[in-house]
Amino acid sequence: MTTTRTSNSATVTVRPLDVLSIELRGFLFHSMLCDESSDRSDVNERTRVRVAHMRPPVAAESFRCHVVSGIALTERERSKIRKFVERFRKEMEANAKQLELAPDDPPKTLPSEPRYLIHPERQPPKTACPLWSFSCVGFVISAYKNGRITLLSPIRPLKTIEDLKLLYPDRADDFDDANKRAEYLPEGGDSWPVALVGYLANAFNRSDDEVRRAPFEPQPGDEHFPSQRLPSMPSVTT
């Protein structure tokens, strides 16, 4: 399977653990894992599909999607990806229960859910946040990595704050808030090799063998699907 768009005029098949993406204002901005128990062949752009995603928190909900990506997973790959998802659901539930049972004196200050990141796409637990934190893409690529499939190369185009406002239209106003910006981009700086949803769609738009063999190295224009990558210019010799 490659990557395909949903539409009103036709249906597509969605399989458990396929990667589903939502588009807004011309950009894919949110990625999710299909959480259905079996294949569905009735999906169009108005169909709500059960998903597991980093909202935050890691949640099971139903969403419509605009793009469907995936490969034919082996049973071993499928089992390892599912174990990853279940691990973080249980971790979050256990943390929430621990906070619920904790005394109110002193006041509870630790978060009850993981933080949402833009870059890096995943961050291990720290004193201030005792849970793994992810971006939506980070959650997906980490789940697949647990299945021994590396989807994206760490070598990616750098994106500035102005780029991110376009790429995350639902969070654009947050980037002008210093505290929110520090939450999303805890390493600071002024440009970042962000793992974008469009990169995932284009990563899967290859043969299953290619997806397994080599991580996708994004280029400018791959934040869109279909890619708007510029054609390579021929070299000039003198």
pLDDT tens digits along 126-184: 777 778 889 999 999 999 999 999 999 999 999 999 999 999 988 899 999 999 999 99
The model's confidence at residue 196, banded by pLDDT at 50, 70 and 90, is very high
Residue type, 54: M
Give domain status of residue 223, yes or no: no
Q: Assess contact for 158 and 220: CB atoms under 8 A.
A: no
> What pLDDT score was predicted for residue 111?
55
> What pLDDT score was predicted for residue 194?
98
Q: What angle do CA 172, 200, 7 make, to 5 degrees?
A: 85
Check residue 116 and report its DSSP letter.
Answer: B
> What pLDDT score was predicted for residue 182?
93
Q: Taking 70 as the threshold, does the pLDDT of residue 109 lie above it? A: no
Q: Taking 50 as the threshold, does the pLDDT of residue 79 lie above it? A: yes
Give domain status of residue 83, yes or no: yes
Check residue 45 and report its DSSP letter.
Answer: T
Give domain status of residue 230, yes or no: no
Give domain status of residue 20, yes or no: yes
> What pLDDT score was predicted for residue 233?
46
Q: Hey, which of 4-13, 51-60, 89-98, 119-128 has the most confident mean pLDDT?
A: 4-13
Residue type, 49: V
Into how many domains does the chain fold?
1
Q: What angle do CA 30, 31, 32 make, to 5 degrees?
A: 130
Range of the domain at 76: 3-103+110-213
Q: Taking 70 as the threshold, does the pLDDT of residue 89 lie above it? A: yes
Dihedral sign, CA of 18, 19, 22, 28?
negative
Q: What is the CA radius of gyration of the chain?
A: 19
